[in-house]
């Protein structure tokens, strides 16, 4: 499987030199090969242990919600009170 790491890096806004791109491409290919070797799962459930159920935490509102100014202070760019993000789809 061919993985275009250069394109992924561009979408992720990561700057990588050729050496890093080659390393990550090899790493990604190794990960895909490993996943392809995993056995197929039969049935709807996969060995759930009724003695040790997974308990998820309850969603709660923050005690002290962030103000707009606090949120915008972490944004790389802001215009008219809105966070500016790069375009992700090419036209």
Look at residue 43 in the predicted model and tell me its pLDDT: 61
- Residue in 21, 19, 1, 2 with CA at minimum distance from that of residue 10: 21
Q: Is the pLDDT of residue 50 over 90?
A: no
The position carrying tokens 């003695």 is 51
Look at residue 13 in the predicted model and tell me its pLDDT: 87
Element (H, E) at 82: strand 82-83
The encoded tokens of residue 44 equal 């709807």
* Rg for the chain, CA atoms, rounded: 21
> What percent of the chain has a predicted confidence (pLDDT) above 90?
34
- Residue in 31, 44, 41, 22 with CA at minimum distance from that of residue 1: 31
Per-residue pLDDT band at 45 (split at 50, 70, 90)? low
Side-chain-side CA neighbours of 74 within 13 Å: the count stands at: 5
Q: Is the pLDDT of residue 47 over 80?
A: no
């Amino acid at each position: 499987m061919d993985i275009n790491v250069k394109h992924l890096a561009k979408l992720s806004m990561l700057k990588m030199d050729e050496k890093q791109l080659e390393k990550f491409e090899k790493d990604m290919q190794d990960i895909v090969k490993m996943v392809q070797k995993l056995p197929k799962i039969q049935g709807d459930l996969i060995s759930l242990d009724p003695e040790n159920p997974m308990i998820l935490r309850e969603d709660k509102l923050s005690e002290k919600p962030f103000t707009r100014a606090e949120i915008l202070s972490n944004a790389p760019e802001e215009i008219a009170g809105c966070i500016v993000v790069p375009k992700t789809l090419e036209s």
